[in-house]
Amino acid sequence: MHIFRDLKSGGDSGYPGHGEPRFHAYTERQFDQIPHLERLSAEQRFAMHVVARVLPFRVNDYVLEHLIDWDNVPDDPMFQLVFPQPGMIAPAHYDRVAGMVNSGADKRTLKAAVHAIHLELNPHPAEQRTLNVPYFGDHSLEGAQHKYRETLLFFPGAGQTCHAYCSFCFRWAQFVQDKELRISSREASQLQTYLKAHRHVTDLLITGGDPMVMKTHHLVENIEPLLQPEFDHVQTIRIGTKALSYWPYRFTTDADADDLLRLFERVVKAGKHLAFMAHYNHWRELEPAPAREAIRRVQDTGAVIRMQGPLLAHINDDPAVWGRMWREQVKLGIVPYYMFVERDTGARRYFEVPLVRAWEIYRDAMQQVSGLGRTARGPSMSAGPGKVEVQGVTEIQGEKVFVLRFIQGRDPDWVERPFFAKFDPAATWLDELQPAFGESHFFFEREYEGMRGGTVNTLVE
């Protein structure tokens, strides 16, 4: 709860109402204060309540007022994006929690049951807690992941929440109350020490949660020191964010919005590329006037906005949605970057799309955009060995296969080598695929097994 207070900013009038919009978040405990939900049945509200005990829920007035089409709930994609739905947890888990809520189980019993469920949901997919931890000397760099040689992921301690939560979030484990499941850092100076010692790191990707929930002065503490000449090897500072969709006022009317834009300008002036890795799921997020204003203001600082987001059943598993989103983005000067496959964690069963369908949607959407929209790569799985793209389905010597390639690899040598898996119409993730042509393993598997045998990230010298 303390974080909410920290987030409040803007004018001193309430919202909606007069003056500047002021951030106010609703969590599962404040369902009853969301007037829009009154149009749902008591059963629907109860189901959302149960699911929100297990998966994180958070929404704010901007999302309620500007994104969700309340005449179209529960099917509205923006509603599905943030509001928990009964199908998002397994029926057995649902029944267990619903039973406890109905029988008035005490807090501790409920908490223990929910914790047990969390552990069954693969809270840290793709070996995030073991293989990706960066070391220098005997120390691990807290709140960071270093998986690909060029790019260091940094999770600033004050940025481990978001202006609203996506119901499918693969980082959900960071938002639920279990402290031990979180990854975060409070140490800007440790980050600097690490970067000084690792001169092959060209990209720093600041992520969360959403680092844009941080006050500008916190961001200045983390970013400004990196503008010194000793960090010249860090050419690009990327910021992973959904604030352009969930709280565009962060860049317009929030009290420290202008200071934030000045920081961006200083980064650009110092000769670095400032890249916004903006998370988008639907063209609807680009429509509201405040969102447009925020995009323009960020771009005016010299920063480039790139788009990335997962392909999700119930939200955007439709080529027309992606085609329109990419066309709108190109018009707004946003660069389409990645279409992700929903990760193997949390509510994945509700959102997953078979790989073959993901590829069809990607292909169909690509055909609807000009070359400037075809910069989006995918569908891509962020798996343990790397980012693996489904390039297509074809037949080679009578065998139907998936053609795959690494966009990123734990070993850079794996990148851009095509490889083949047996076609499987139901497969939704890399670990469900078998090598094609009767081979016993994929070309990278032995080396990857070797990496898993060690405790340190082999990419960090």
Ligand X SMILES: *Cc1c(COP(=O)(O)O)cnc(C)c1O
Binding site for ligand SF4 (CB under 6 A): 162, 165-166, 169, 171, 208-210, 242, 279
From the list 34, 87, 42, 29, the residue with the least C-alpha distance to 63 is: 34
Choice between 324 and 387, CB closer to ligand X = 387
Cβ distance to ligand X smaller for residue 147 or 198: 147
Site for ligand X in 420-439 (CB under 6 A): none
- What is the closest distance, in whole angstroms, from the C-beta atom of residue 415 to ligand X in the complex? 9
* Helix 107-120 / helix 42-54 crossing angle, nearest 10 deg: 70
The residue among 63 and 166 lying less far from ligand SF4, judged by its C-beta, is 166
Choose the binding region for ligand X from 63-71, 76-84, 144-152, 429-437 (rule: CB under 6 A).
144-152
Q: Of residues 382, 427, 457, 460, which one binds ligand X by CB under 6 A?
A: 382
Which residue, 182 or 387, is less far from ligand X as judged by CB? Answer: 387
- Residue 59 or 126 with smaller CB distance to ligand X: 126
153 binds ligand X (CB under 6 A): yes
Burial class (CB within 10 angstroms; exposed 0-12, middle 13-18, buried 19+) of 58: buried
Per DSSP bridges, beta strands 419-422 and 399-409 are antiparallel
In the region spanning residues 401 to 420, those forming contacts with ligand X, defined by CB under 6 A, are 407-408
- The nearer residue to ligand SF4, 272 or 282, going by C-beta atoms, is 282
Q: How far is the CB of 224 from ligand SF4 (least distance, A)?
A: 24
CB–CB of 319/353 below 8 Å? no
- Tallying the residues shown for the chain, one arrives at 461
147 makes contact with ligand X (CB under 6 A): yes
Choose among ligand X, ligand SF4, none what residue 387 binds, the Cβ cut-off being 5 to 8 Å by kind. Answer: ligand X
**Beta-carbon neighbour count of residue 221 at 10 Å?**
15
Report the residue number, 58 or 405, with the smaller CB distance to ligand X. Answer: 405
Least CB distance from residue 12 to ligand X, whole Å? 40
Instruction: Give the DSSP H or E segment for 15.
Output: none
H-assigned helices in 256-347: 257-269, 289-300, 319-332
Looking at the Cβ atoms of 147 and 297, the one nearer to ligand X is 147
Q: In what order do the strands lie in the sheet with 144-148?
A: 144-148, 151-154, 203-206, 236-241, 273-279, 304-311, 335-341, 377-382, 386-396, 399-409, 419-422
- Residues 6 or more apart whose CB falls under 8 angstroms from that of 67 comprise 78, 81, 245, 284, 285, 288
DSSP secondary structure string for all residues of 285-297? GG-SHHHHHHHHH
Residue 324 binding ligand X, by CB under 6 A: no
* Shortest distance in whole angstroms from residue 377 CB to ligand X: 8
Among 82, 205, 315, 356, which residue interacts with ligand X (rule: CB under 6 A)? 205
**Percent of the chain that is helix, strand, coil (3-state, to 5):** 45, 20, 40
Closest contact distance (angstroms) between CB of 203 and ligand X is 6
Q: Does 198 bind ligand X (CB under 6 A)?
A: no
What is the rounded CA–CA span in Å between residue 279 and residue 37?
26
196 C-beta neighbours (distance < 10 Å), count: 14
Q: How far is the CB of 244 from ligand X (least distance, A)?
A: 18
Q: How many residues bind ligand X (CB under 6 A)?
A: 10
Which region, judged by CB under 6 A, interacts with ligand X, from 115-123, 145-153, 357-365, 427-435? 145-153
Q: Compute the least distance from the CB of residue 421 to ligand SF4, in Å.
A: 27
Nearer to ligand SF4, 282 or 327 (CB): 282
End-to-end CA distance of the chain: 40
169 binds, among ligand X, ligand SF4, none (CB under 5 to 8 A by kind): ligand SF4
Report the nearest approach of ligand X to the CB of residue 310 (Å): 12
Select the binding partner of residue 147 from ligand X, ligand SF4, none (C-beta < 5 to 8 A, by kind): ligand X
State in angstroms the smallest separation of the CB of 122 from ligand SF4. Answer: 15
Q: Is 142 helix (H, G, I), strand (E, B) or coil?
A: coil
Reported as half-sphere exposure (CB side, CA atoms, 13 A), residue 368 has a value of 17
Tokens representing 47 are 């189901």
Angle (nearest 5°) at CA 127 between 121 and 128: 90
Of 57 and 170, CB closest to ligand X: 170
Per CB under 6 A, residues contacting ligand X are 145, 147-148, 151, 153, 205, 382, 387, 407-408
